[in-house]
């Protein structure tokens, strides 16, 4: 039988704890940047989504000449009220030459890691280099990963946090204290963004919300908008977009799912890989920049490859008996016949 290396949830948590989330972030950012530089080598397509009243289930595929990968992921904002995660995921890598899976992993934790790293990659190129204060609007499951990514990669020194859910805000404050993060707990969005160089919005409600108003965004600010990620779900006042230079991962997907779904099909945007390829970070210090991020499969494939290279052959990996491999590839039924009790006809 062909066995597939697999990283389960507990092993992923142990790996992150051993390697350190903050120490992993710059390494994963560098890996992501390398893949964004070779963007044209990937076969790209928008994710396949099944929407319901309560959420969405998606398949996110990407491939190059050697590796095919996908992530299965859901987004159900009502889930915390049921004691469930808003987002869960797992991912698979496969060998393009044979079609055989080569690696599997849980991706609820890994997606949080790659989302933090992708946000920090965008800010590395788009935010002012002297940015030291970040407002964090939404302090749910993604918050700690965002904060650690921005401290490790961008030099952010203070987080100004706000959430409409006081329990989520208290959770983040407790974790931030253990992580040595300097946090100001704000009582409103306006208080949180006052004096911020970077504003990250990462709320969960599946609706067209205005979490961040135009008046809250001053010249020179970089907005990291990562909560709007499906049709009908937004966080930004569209007036912010019209004042800003807007950057996306993959335009065909962002037009449907991102903040730019609010401003029409002709609204100008730039894909992040173009910025990285050009080597031009920020035109003017007073520019407002928006990273309208919905998450894209290339990032997931990169994160899976990064994880695979780090853990295969270690205690963090188990093996799944996933692929049928009869001794004669033409005799698949032979696997069934070999399990039949002696003396019992195979058709019985």
**C-beta of residue 332 within 8 angstroms of C-beta of residue 326:** yes
Which contacts qualify for 83-86: CB closer than 8 Å, 24 or more apart? 85/141, 86/140, 86/141, 86/204
The SS3 of residue 216 is helix
Looking at 229, 237, 292, 300, which residue is catalytic?
A: 229
List CB contacts of 138: < 8 A, sequence separation 6 or more.
163, 168, 200, 201, 202, 203, 204, 211, 227
Distance between CA 42 and CA 65 in Å, rounded? 8
The SS3 of residue 166 is helix
Q: Is 229 a catalytic residue?
A: yes
The SS3 of residue 303 is helix
Residues with a known catalytic role: 229
């Amino acid at each position: 039988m062909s066995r597939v290396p697999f990283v389960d949830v507990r092993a992923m948590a142990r790996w992150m704890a051993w390697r350190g989330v903050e120490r992993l972030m710059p390494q994963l950012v560098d890996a992501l940047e390398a893949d964004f530089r070779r963007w044209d080598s990937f076969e790209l397509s928008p994710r396949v989504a099944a929407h319901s009243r309560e959420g969405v289930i998606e398949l996110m595929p990407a491939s190059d000449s050697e590796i095919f990968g996908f992530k299965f992921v859901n987004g159900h904002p009502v889930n915390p009220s049921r004691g469930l995660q808003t987002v869960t995921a797992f991912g698979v890598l496969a060998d393009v030459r044979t079609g055989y899976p080569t690696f599997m992993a849980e991706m609820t934790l890994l997606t949080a890691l790659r989302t933090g790293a992708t946000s920090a990659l965008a800010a590395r190129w788009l935010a002012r280099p002297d940015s030291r204060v970040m407002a964090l609007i939404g302090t749910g499951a993604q918050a700690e990963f965002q904060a650690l990514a921005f401290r490790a990669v961008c030099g952010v020194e203070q987080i100004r946090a706000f959430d409409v859910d006081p329990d989520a805000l208290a959770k983040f404050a407790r974790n931030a204290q253990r992580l040595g993060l300097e946090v100001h707990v704000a009582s409103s969005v306006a208080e949180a963004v006052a004096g911020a160089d970077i504003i990250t919005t990462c709320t969960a409600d599946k609706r067209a919300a205005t979490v961040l108003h135009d008046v809250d965004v001053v010249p020179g600010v970089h907005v990291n908008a990562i909560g709007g990620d499906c049709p009908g779900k937004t966080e930004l006042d569209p007036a912010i977009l019209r004042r800003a230079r807007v950057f996306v991962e993959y335009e065909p997907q962002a037009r449907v799912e991102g903040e730019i779904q609010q401003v029409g099909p002709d609204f100008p945007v730039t894909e992040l890989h173009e910025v990285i390829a050009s080597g031009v970070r920020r035109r003017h210090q007073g520019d407002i920049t928006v990273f309208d991020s919905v998450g894209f499969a290339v990032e997931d494939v990169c994160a899976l490859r990064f994880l695979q290279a780090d853990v295969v052959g270690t205690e963090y990996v188990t093996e799944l008996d996933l692929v049928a491999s009869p001794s004669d590839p033409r005799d698949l039924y032979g696997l069934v016949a070999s399990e039949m009790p002696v003396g019992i006809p195979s058709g019985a």
